[in-house]
Structure 1
Amino acid sequence: MKHSNVNKDIKTGMNSRRQFITKAAAGGVVAALASKTAWAGGSSATGCSVSGNLSGNLSQARDCSTANVKGESPYVWKKVLYGHRSQPTSEAVSNFKWKDVFGMGRPPFGFSGKSEKTIRNFLRTDKSYYYETNEALVVAYLNARSGLYPLPQGTNESSARTYVQGLYDDINNGVFHESDVVNAVRATY
């Protein structure tokens, strides 16, 4: 085989891998399992994904620019849920009760009797029910529901709820520490 053909084959193979990774990331494949949460990190992230940040596996060199996911902050979502700002995407989000998003068996951390409260009550600007883990979970739900965190099952209510319920369960079962999830979510906005 000629030297130029070998180089062409290598280049073709690398381009195929890049295209697959780009398509997989864009399609949300990296966020398929709640226990393997994977959103691309923002400017404060130390890795390309929440799972990378949580696992500390930063040894692989990677190009994060093709898979960056930019979510909105608690401040923005509070304004959206109060109707003071328009929805950031064409996928509208609603101010459901905590129990409607997370289920009856998943009360808010630190406020077990407050499952009847709406999710905007757990965002930063309401000091009455503020707890950073709850805020991170609500922001993750809103970003997933709006399509800012792409999910492989699509942008729909069921997928977003399943996703954040998995995050909740991962914290509750000790898979991830609360602070690690909070930091990983914050890295996306």
Structure 2
Amino acid sequence: MRVIAGRLGGRTFEDPRGHRTHPMSEKARGAIFNALGDIDGLTFLDAYAGTGALAIEAISRGAKSVLAIDVDIEAVKTMSASVKSLDLRENITVLRKNISGWSRNNQHKKFDVVLADPPYDDIRPDVIERLGVHVQPGGIMVLSWPGNEPVRELSELETISHKSYGDAQLVFYRKFQ
């Protein structure tokens, strides 16, 4: 995999092939960060982090910090190795946790941006809804959702845009002030 832009643009890192992750396309990753615009100094939660591509891209483009969470041990090992090889351990914290349990036990933790790219074969709408509590007022949540599913409305979050990319769609939400 490749970092698209920012201070690490062009650098490569590994992905845990053959596991439960479904790496997001470069086009979709680029679309997320182009839509977000200037992210200098922002904090991110990367739920279902998988390869860590979104976390790494965020730091490359100026984010202050990212908490990257995934339950798959191979994904976490590979992501941790990538974070180390790119010298991002001060900016990216990698946790091997079930996002549902982590969210339930850490409702007080807030982020400027929450990224959620769940495995499409195991989406739990209740968990996606719960992730909204981690968005700061005025902050953004980006959800990668199956392209054949209707856009999901979330309480406390306003849908601001959505766009399809192959078999996926990206839905952008803003937390009410």
- Normalising by structure 1, we get a TM-score of 0.25
Instruction: Tell me which structure has the larger Cα radius of gyration.
Output: 1
- Higher relative contact order, structure no. (Cα contacts within 8 Å, ≥ 6 residues apart): 1
Bigger proportion of residues as helix:
1
